[in-house]
């Protein structure tokens, strides 16, 4: 048989040659450009304890804790995204939900251990015995640094832990830890009984000792990291950075809109990213309700609505405040937690842990907002559409920050991919 003057054998030979040529040249073809957003800072809101997805951003049929009828504890309400509902206690957020992306299909395999789940969400991968992985905040600090001189790249307002630390990236990429919104980096300030001249003499002597030690021990990378972190830490006591903590300079009406302690942390987070801090984690697990916070076992479920209302007030005000300051498109706001809760209630009306399906939220950051990613079944137990791994979640945050999610870092000589084979959620990028 012939086609256009060529025999079948000739056609096969030619197509084979073309296939060989394509296989040979493919590695030299330009790769697809990585997805990149336009955010230059990130505010990472942490709901420590495991916020219930079906009681917040993924409501299901109404249950009853007293009768132990499985389901959501609250009624759903409509939102600014057509066809999308959230919990009735997220009323303010519902009105501006078009500024957000709800990811309803996050998952991992850690259930019973909070610390392990916290580590998993912060590092985006399971631990190993040979490598201490860096947190997402430390990776961002390592890749981008602060946006201005004399500022930290990474700030944590909440409990310090190894999960939030720099891992193999070293102390230079660790966080500045804050407890009081009004005090700032108090531990870095010069003691009152030490004069400026005395402090300067100390700094000169310390610098000499460091230089001598590092000349004699040139391969001490950890010491170099700590030395550099110390030098940069001294820059943070200047008036420009400490001025960021003067929340009283904000209108009282705005401070009232943000709400209590957690709200004031969110306001400070806006001021920090506005000043040039790259990554700010704001923990919402210090003012525990019923002694449990978001970990709503037993009686912890009873006043969960109070936490949800406080989150609603602070989160919605933060988004509108960033928008007012023309920072929302350049600030990625993340609401994250270590896992969700099951639809069933325990014997005292609370909920256990659940990691097979739970929700996290992205807002602003130049993403294509006003949409929901993923879907769970009728009771929120199983993911039925578009599962998002923690590696994908991390890759999406990195891409939104302009960091190549396929990049490789190095633990000494050992290459470590920046994510555990994660891929950014493609539909959140582009026009």
pLDDT for the residue numbered 178 = 86
Q: Is the pLDDT of residue 140 over 90?
A: yes
How far apart, in Å, are the Cα atoms of 70 and each of 59, 77, 192, 308, 346? 12, 19, 59, 20, 10
pLDDT in tens, 176-201: 988 777 666 655 565 667 676 776 67
- Predicted confidence (pLDDT) per residue in 391-425, tens digit: 999 999 999 999 999 999 999 999 999 999 999 99
Q: What is the mean pLDDT of residues 261-266?
A: 94
Structure-token match 């955010």, residue found: 39
59-77, pLDDT tens digit by residue?
Answer: 999 999 989 999 999 999 9
pLDDT on residue 24: 41
pLDDT of residue 2: 45
Least confident of 31-35, 151-155, 338-342, 405-409: 31-35
Gap between the Cα atoms of 94 and 229, Å rounded: 42
- Is residue 9 predicted with pLDDT exceeding 60? no
Mean pLDDT (whole number) for 244-262: 95
**Mean of pLDDT values over 146-162:** 88
Give residue 317's pLDDT: 98
The single residue listed with the structure tokens 């602060």 is 146
Percentage of the residues of the chain whose pLDDT score is greater than 90: 66
Average pLDDT for 328-338: 97
The string of pLDDT tens digits covering residues 279-318 is: 999 999 755 565 678 999 988 898 899 999 999 999 999 9
Distant-in-sequence, close-in-space partners of 92: CB < 8 Å, separation ≥ 6: 312, 313, 316, 317
Residues in contact with 8: Cβ distance below 8 Å, sequence separation at least 6, in sequence order: 1, 2
Bigger pLDDT: 430 vs 173: 173
Give the pLDDT confidence of 206-240 residue by residue, as tens digits: 667 767 766 777 766 666 665 565 655 555 656 67
Beta bridge partners of 364: 332
pLDDT of residue 20: 41
Give residue 300's pLDDT. Answer: 86
């Amino acid at each position: 048989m012939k086609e256009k003057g060529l025999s079948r054998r000739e056609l096969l030979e030619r197509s084979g040659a073309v296939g060989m040529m394509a296989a040979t040249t493919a590695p030299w073809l330009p790769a697809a450009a990585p997805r990149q957003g336009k955010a230059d800072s990130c505010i990472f809101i942490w709901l420590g304890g495991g916020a219930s997805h079906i009681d917040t951003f993924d409501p299901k049929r109404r249950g009853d804790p007293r009768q132990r009828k499985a389901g959501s504890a609250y009624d759903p309400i409509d939102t600014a995204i057509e066809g999308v509902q959230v919990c009735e206690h997220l009323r303010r957020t519902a009105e501006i939900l078009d500024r957000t992306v709800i990811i309803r299909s996050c998952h991992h395999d850690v259930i019973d251990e909070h610390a392990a789940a916290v580590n998993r969400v912060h590092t985006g991968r399971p631990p190993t015995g040979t490598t201490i992985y860096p947190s997402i905040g430390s990776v961002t600090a390592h890749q981008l640094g602060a946006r201005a001189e004399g500022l930290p790249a990474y700030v944590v307002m909440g409990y310090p832990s190894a999960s939030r630390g720099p891992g193999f990236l070293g102390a230079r990429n660790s966080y500045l830890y804050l407890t009081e919104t009004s005090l700032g980096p108090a531990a870095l300030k010069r003691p009152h009984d030490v004069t400026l001249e005395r402090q300067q003499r100390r700094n000169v002597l310390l610098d000499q000792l460091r230089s001598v030690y590092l000349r004699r021990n040139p391969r001490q990378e950890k010491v170099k990291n700590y030395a550099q972190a110390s030098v940069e830490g001294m820059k943070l006591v200047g008036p420009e950075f400490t001025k960021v903590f003067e929340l009283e300079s904000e209108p009282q009406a705005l401070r009232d809109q943000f709400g209590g302690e957690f709200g004031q942390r969110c306001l400070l987070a806006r001021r920090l990213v506005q000043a040039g801090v790259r990554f700010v984690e704001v923990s919402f697990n210090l003012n525990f309700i019923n002694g449990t916070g978001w970990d709503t076992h037993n009686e912890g479920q009873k006043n969960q609505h109070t936490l949800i209302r406080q989150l609603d007030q602070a989160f919605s005000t933060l988004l509108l405040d960033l928008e007012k300051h023309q920072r929302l498109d350049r600030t990625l706001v993340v609401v994250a937690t270590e896992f969700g809760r099951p639809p069933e209630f325990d014997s005292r009306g609370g909920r256990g842990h659940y990691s097979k399906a739970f929700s996290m939220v992205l807002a602003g950051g130049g993403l294509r907002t006003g949409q929901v990613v993923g879907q769970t079944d009728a009771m929120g137990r199983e993911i039925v559409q578009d599962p998002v791994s923690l590696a994908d979640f991390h890759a999406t945050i990195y891409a939104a920050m302009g960091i190549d999610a396929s990049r490789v870092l190095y633990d000494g000589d050992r290459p470590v991919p920046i994510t555990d084979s994660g891929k950014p959620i493609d539909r959140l990028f582009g026009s």
